[in-house]
């Protein structure tokens, strides 16, 4: 069976060229994947930062933009955080991603280290399940000007300061006033992010293809402030009314400090991320495995 995947980029977690003794390093895993790709007759490229970290200089070296323009597949070795970061960067190019899990959870990096060859070989030949995920577009406005503009795949989180009390947040949806909430913070999450911070804050799980956004208060002062699922077409505005040292973070990977009256505007991005999974992949299988459902049952 032929496949359209001829030019393939390898990307590793830049901070993990060396791993714990019980786990192979990113370099070892990437070289293992490269051997498989060479056997399959594919053109191999390595992300520039990955090459510098792991010392993989024997293949073509490309930066992220070059990967987006020249490659038709990217294989990412790392945890979900690694996949989130590169998913955002490659979304505008439409390059699909396959994730090999070298982290702990692996909700979106779902190929285990002990099944790389077994899973990848048929995928390279066109046997896979496609999974498209939405992104959030977020902006921080201050005195009528945009001071921060970015994408998030999991969530946008407005947080109180580490040593301060609750924040007060005015929330509007599509220009309609919702409430002033006093809480430790507020999470706006995609269905992908519903298994991340939003879940630990008491939010529901959203099926990945569901066209919705999730708004979850963090430790709200009023117990009746509950999570709510909104249509993905809305624009949500969080305005900081009160609270010291507040900030907003995006997928827990970038952060902007906030001052009183700053507004964080969040809406669904026009860009999407495309993941590829082994044939027969099921979201419910992932939930059972990662959330330890059915443990103790026969």
Q: In this structure, what are the phi and psi dihedrals at residue 128, rounded to the nearest 5 degrees?
A: -155, 165
Match 């991603």 to its residue by tokens. 97
At 242-279, the pLDDT tens digits run 999 999 999 999 999 999 999 999 999 999 999 999 99
Active site residues: 80
Contact indicator for 145, 265 with CB cutoff of 8 Å: no
Q: Domains in the chain, please, with CATH?
A: 7-126 (3.40.50.10330), 135-270 (2.60.200.30)
At 125-181, the pLDDT tens digits run 999 999 999 999 999 999 999 999 999 999 999 999 887 889 999 999 999 999 999
pTM above 0.85, yes or no: yes
Among residues 71, 64, 59, the alpha carbon closest in space to that of 30 is found at: 59
Q: Measured in Å, how far apart are the chain's first and last C-alpha atoms?
A: 39
């Amino acid at each position: 069976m032929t496949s359209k995947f001829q030019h393939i980029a390898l990307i590793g977690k830049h901070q993990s060229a060396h791993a714990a003794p019980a786990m192979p390093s990113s370099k070892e895993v990437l070289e293992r994947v490269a051997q498989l790709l060479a056997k399959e007759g594919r053109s191999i490229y390595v992300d520039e930062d990955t090459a510098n970290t792991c010392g993989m200089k024997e293949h073509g070296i490309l930066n992220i933009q070059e990967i987006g323009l020249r490659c038709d597949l990217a294989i990412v070795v790392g945890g979900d955080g690694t996949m989130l970061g590169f998913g955002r960067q490659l979304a505008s190019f439409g390059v699909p991603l396959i994730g090999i899990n070298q982290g702990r959870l692996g909700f979106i990096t779902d190929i285990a280290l002990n099944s790389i060859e077994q899973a990848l070989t048929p995928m390279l030949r066109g046997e896979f399940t496609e999974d498209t995920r939405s992104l959030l577009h977020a902006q921080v406005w201050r005195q009528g000007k945009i001071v921060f503009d970015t994408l998030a795949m999991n969530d946008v989180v407005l947080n109180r300061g580490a040593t301060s009390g609750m924040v007060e947040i005015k929330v509007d949806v599509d220009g309609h006033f919702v409430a002033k909430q006093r809480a430790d913070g507020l999470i706006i999450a995609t269905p992908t992010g519903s298994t991340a911070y939003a879940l630990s804050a008491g939010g529901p799980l959203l099926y990945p293809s569901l066209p919705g956004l999730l708004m979850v208060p963090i430790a709200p002062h009023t117990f009746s402030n509950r999570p709510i699922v909104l249509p993905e077409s809305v624009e949500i505005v969080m305005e900081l009314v009160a609270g010291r040292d507040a900030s907003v973070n995006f997928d827990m990977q970038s952060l902007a400090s906030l001052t009183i009256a700053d507004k964080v505007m969040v809406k669904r991005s026009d860009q999407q991320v495309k993941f590829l999974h082994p044939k027969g992949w099921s979201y419910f299988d992932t939930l059972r495995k990662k959330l330890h459902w059915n443990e103790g049952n026969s």
